[in-house]
Chains A and B, each alone.
Chain A
């Protein structure tokens, strides 16, 4: 395997719901190399989003370790995690999660904020990414002036604009039409190959054949590698 981007070892995570403890991840271990495209599949509620949250540093495991770019993030402080995400990770949500008050280009710019870049440079880079994705005509549109597919593509632009080394996509095509979904997945794959960006795609459906390098199936709190 090429240089490791992610190395999860025996990761455990549980939640307490209405006083009852519910184990979501019960000793998950896997590794992802540079430029690898991984699909994490499983039924709804099995823990795919939880796993991605742990990898992104948005949550902390109860046990085990999550090593990202050779750094154990399990015990990192919040400010360091934010810096790590800002620098290395692009996140695609199922629901695009664009900021309602901001235009498309302003939403993309948000991923470049607090890096010491000038506003001109931030705007230039954001516009360039939108242009690459064929979305230049939507630059100054608000989210409510765009279709769901367009909004998800803007979200994709936001996830890419800072050239992350890892993209975490949590069911990014679940709420959009299949054609747009296919385009998005194609863009993800292209990104991974051209820039050696690791991609982890969580889905409860089947990605197109040839999309991923590996499929990891999450079931009963554990993960297993499924060879295609």
Chain B
């Protein structure tokens, strides 16, 4: 074997350029595999961590059963407890307290929405009552101080204060400090707000106690104490989102969510598959190139190989020689690739979102290097065996006769 290795090295040194190109190809394969595998694994891990600690939010309602039997008695049958045009039943805060105890739920809050008629302008608008003191689930599902574009946000102790949705304010030409009458009660516009695409929307926002006070004036004797008609929910993590859905649906709720976590995770999954496919294609391409390169070398010296057989080398020795040449190139490529990979990984700095270091552990790096070495050396063997088998299938006499 030592002698064959010496012969193989001589041949590789004779065709330096071809050898260097093949070695470079193997090195690229190792670098691509190690670096991208590390990125994918750590990306996967970080994504999992992020999803684990990132909740998703939605709004849940119980659709109503008709104007007369939805738990309230209306003065004006054109008004009502409605969310997005759907009549809803009332939900008590006891339900909210119960929801908060569930492991799938991180936070929950009541929202009270009512479709109200404005006799002055002879038009309808929605009034939405929420708890401005809850800056968790309310901020993600309804509105937050950061959505204020003029004036200020509401506080829990505000009375006679309203926030107007930007669209409604423009339509009605209201501004901050303007006075609006709701249920006959004059209210001051303290702020204009644009909450974006959150599920709990209204034209006029007030704090919850004040909303109950304003809406009660539109009802006959119905009590709204400790009640609302929508549940704002923040799940404990994206991984528990579906579980929370299932529970609420069993309780008769319908849900309003934009499922943003799912497409993102799906995209990540799709991208990961594409990346692995690309890695496999690159490695396959490198091995194919090595096969081609070694085959070209064998064809170029087919006569020399026939001479070696003529002077007593067996077909097995010829195969060993050619495979040794190929494996030496693969090993050299692995060494260069491993060093380059380690340099690339050590040189990449910064952190991924979620605060996790990009490459905090060295063990997976060595594991990937080892895996890539095994793959590349197997590739080297394949790249040697195919041309070697071709070489020994041709009889020396035929080679001498042909050339």
A contacts with B: majority SS: helix
Q: Is the CB of B311 within 8 A of A111?
A: yes
For residues 377 through 403 of chain B, which have their beta carbon under 8 Å from a beta carbon of chain A?
395-398, 400-401
Q: Which of A50, A97, A106 contacts B307 (CB 8 A)?
A: A97
In the assembled complex, A86 has its CB within 8 A of some CB on chain B: yes
In the assembled complex, A38 has its CB within 8 A of some CB on chain B: no
Task: Give per-residue flags for B1-28: 1 if the beta carbon is below 8 A from chain A beta carbons, else 0.
Answer: 0110011001101100000000000000
Tell me the bound Cα distance from A2 to B322 in angstroms: 43
Centre residue among A113, A119, A158 by max chain B CB count within 10 A: A113
Q: Is the CB of A53 within 8 A of B311?
A: no
In the assembled complex, A69 has its CB within 8 A of some CB on chain B: no
Tell me the bound Cα distance from A119 to B316 in angstroms: 20
Residues of B within 8 A of A90 (CB): 311
Tell me the bound Cα distance from A87 to B10 in angstroms: 25
Q: Which of A87, A93, A101, A158 contacts B11 (CB 8 A)?
A: A101
For residues 281 through 311 of chain B, which have their beta carbon under 8 Å from a beta carbon of chain A?
301, 303-304, 307-311
Residues of A within 8 A of B304 (CB): 97, 99-100
Tell me the bound Cα distance from A85 to B10 in angstroms: 25
In the assembled complex, B312 has its CB within 8 A of some CB on chain A: yes
Known contacts A58-B397, A79-B316, A99-B304; is-contact A110 B311 (Cβ 8 Å):
yes
In the assembled complex, B313 has its CB within 8 A of some CB on chain A: yes
Instruction: Determine the interface band of chain B, counting residues with CB < 8 A from chain A.
Output: 20 to 34
User: Which chain A residue shows the least CB distance to B303?
Assistant: A97
User: Which chain B residue shows the least CB distance to A56?
Assistant: B310
Centre residue among B301, B308, B311 by max chain A CB count within 10 A: B311
Tell me the bound Cα distance from A79 to B317 in angstroms: 10
Task: Give per-residue flags for A92-125: 1 if the beta carbon is below 8 A from chain B beta carbons, else 0.
Answer: 0100010111100010001101100001001000
A-B contact count (CB 8 A): 83
Known contacts A78-B315, A113-B313, A114-B313; is-contact A99 B400 (Cβ 8 Å):
no
In the assembled complex, A83 has its CB within 8 A of some CB on chain B: yes
Tell me the bound Cα distance from A111 to B317 in angstroms: 13
For residues 63 through 80 of chain A, which have their beta carbon under 8 Å from a beta carbon of chain B?
78-79
Q: Which of A119, A158, A159 contacts B3 (CB 8 A)?
A: A119
Residues of B within 8 A of A97 (CB): 303-304, 307
In the assembled complex, A150 has its CB within 8 A of some CB on chain B: no
Known contacts A100-B14, A106-B10; is-contact A82 B3 (Cβ 8 Å):
no
In the assembled complex, B314 has its CB within 8 A of some CB on chain A: yes
Q: Is the CB of A82 within 8 A of B11?
A: no
Tell me the bound Cα distance from A102 to B6 in angstroms: 10
Known contacts A82-B309, A91-B310, A97-B304; is-contact A113 B315 (Cβ 8 Å):
no
Residues of B within 8 A of A162 (CB): 312
Q: Is the CB of A85 within 8 A of B315?
A: no
Tell me the bound Cα distance from A152 to B400 in angstroms: 17
Residues of A within 8 A of B313 (CB): 82, 86, 110, 113-114
User: Which chain B residue shows the least CB distance to A91?
Assistant: B310
Tell me the bound Cα distance from A87 to B312 in angstroms: 8
Tell me the bound Cα distance from A35 to B75 in angstroms: 132
Known contacts A58-B310, A111-B312, A114-B317; is-contact A93 B400 (Cβ 8 Å):
yes
Q: Which of B7, B301, B312 contacts A86 (CB 8 A)?
A: B312
Tell me the bound Cα distance from A114 to B314 in angstroms: 9
CB distance from A46 to the nearest CB of B (A): 14
CB distance from A50 to the nearest CB of B (A): 8
Tell me the bound Cα distance from A15 to B315 in angstroms: 23
Q: Is the CB of A110 within 8 A of B308?
A: yes
Q: Is the CB of A49 within 8 A of B311?
A: no
In the assembled complex, A59 has its CB within 8 A of some CB on chain B: yes
Residues of B within 8 A of A101 (CB): 10-11, 13-14
CB distance from A114 to the nearest CB of B (A): 6
Q: Is the CB of A85 within 8 A of B310?
A: yes
Q: Is the CB of B307 within 8 A of A99?
A: yes
CB distance from B280 to the nearest CB of A (A): 35
CB distance from B1 to the nearest CB of A (A): 11
CB distance from A48 to the nearest CB of B (A): 12
Q: Which of B2, B13, B314 contacts A79 (CB 8 A)?
A: B314
Residues of A within 8 A of B317 (CB): 82, 113-114
Tell me the bound Cα distance from A97 to B311 in angstroms: 11
Q: Is the CB of A114 within 8 A of B315?
A: no
Centre residue among B10, B13, B304, B397 by max chain A CB count within 10 A: B397
CB distance from A161 to the nearest CB of B (A): 10
Task: Using CB atoms and an 8 Å cutoff, list the residues of chain B in contact with chain A.
Answer: 2-3, 6-7, 10-11, 13-14, 301, 303-304, 307-317, 395-398, 400-401
**Can you list 15 A-B contacts (CB < 8 A)?**
A15-B401, A50-B401, A58-B309, A59-B398, A82-B309, A82-B314, A86-B313, A100-B14, A100-B301, A100-B304, A101-B13, A113-B313, A114-B312, A114-B313, A122-B3
Q: Which 7 pairs between the two chains have the least Cβ-Cβ distance?
A: A86-B312, A101-B14, A59-B397, A82-B314, A53-B397, A58-B397, A97-B307
Task: Using CB atoms and an 8 Å cutoff, list the residues of chain A in contact with chain B.
Answer: 15, 49-50, 53, 56, 58-59, 78-79, 82-83, 85-87, 89-91, 93, 97, 99-102, 106, 110-111, 113-114, 119, 122, 158-159, 162
Given A15-B401, A79-B315, output 15 extra A-B contacts at Cβ < 8 Å.
Answer: A50-B397, A53-B400, A82-B312, A86-B312, A87-B312, A91-B311, A93-B310, A99-B307, A100-B304, A101-B14, A106-B10, A110-B311, A113-B312, A114-B3, A114-B313
